[in-house]
Amino acid sequence: MMQGRRRPGGGGEVNGNVANYRSQDSKNKRRGPVVFNEPQKLHKMLADMGLGSRRELEDWIVAGRISVNSLPAHVGQRVGPEDKVRVNGKLIHIHFAQRAPRVLIYHKPEGEIVSRDDPEGRPSVFDKLPKVGGGRWIAVGRLDFNTSGLLVFTTSGELANKLMHPSYELEREYAVRLIGELTPEQSKKLTEGIELEDGIAKFNSLADGGGEGSNHWYRVTLSEGRNREVRRMFEAIGLTVSRLMRVRYGPFELPRRLARGKSEELKAEQVEKLLSVVPAKGKQRKGPAEEARPPVDGEAPTSPKRGRRRGPRKPREAGEGGNRAAPQQSAPSPQGGEGDAPARKRAPRRRRRPSAKPAAGGGEA
């Protein structure tokens, strides 16, 4: 058996710089850092990184030369991204691939609350979700206690924020059953915008879903998720929602095969497809000051860019516009360097010109 080169000293001794240690099994070739996809046994990971053979590293563990999180390691111990491994006191950097987030869809029935803590002790949707090792499920939005349908959960806070944030404008679709009949005038109000106590709200679309009398259904979509928004919009026009069910949230649809109270986790390829669909950045939303609107009564029209000075003001040359006699009077001044004085004196008069100031008392556009 051909023996590899060993460090001087024999007996498997290594110095503190374990990164430069060459084991018997290592080869003289250049390679990048080893990346692990999941936690593995400590001696196997260190052997894959080229720090020694598995048997050698097991002996080092027994000898107490390897520690995990400042405690002596033991043979067969598994380590993950959160663990700190040291060999002979030197920190070893173990690279782990970033895990894809887990995503779960749940068919919520009426009578469950989307919260972990409820003073009234009502049933929670989290009681029916599978356990997550080293993390927890984060709800993407909420549904009212009396609302059923699709709920989305994920283990990634970043992904949950993207799916909920208004700037991403992910569309929600609901099936609504009304008590009463919806007139064309009311439908127009709901799609054009209706005033609620927390601002204007409107549906992106409103379609007849069929049915008669008290069992008439409609399909509505909107791009935000305010508290009880769908119910409040119909109440604002004098109609009552007898049943409300969410059937779609962005790219997620409620499967017909998924029974109430049951959940289904997305496969790895489905999660990758979801991450490619969700944009890296949301759409920039204009603030109230940036939105184009006509001035109200008693308010002068604002134009911040019109009166802005760009760079230092250039002094006028003799004979250029305005009063041409002023430069001739300053010419015989005995002091050198006073040629700029007339320009500085004329500056306030230029700023007081009517063209650089809004008309006084202008209220309507």
What are the catalytic residues? 144
The SS3 call for residue 365 is coil
Burial of 220 (0-12, 13-18, 19+ CB in 10 A): buried
Of 266, 63, 83, 274, which is closest to residue 170 (Cα–Cα)? 274
C-beta of residue 23 within 8 angstroms of C-beta of residue 52: yes
Residue with tokens 């380590």: 79
Of 69, 106, 66, which is closest to residue 88 (Cα–Cα)? 66
Sign of CA dihedral 71, 75, 77, 83: positive
Measured distance CA(70)–CA(60) in Å, rounded: 15
> Hey, what are 158's tokens?
């970043």
C-beta of residue 116 within 8 angstroms of C-beta of residue 58: no
> Hey, what are 229's tokens?
């928004």
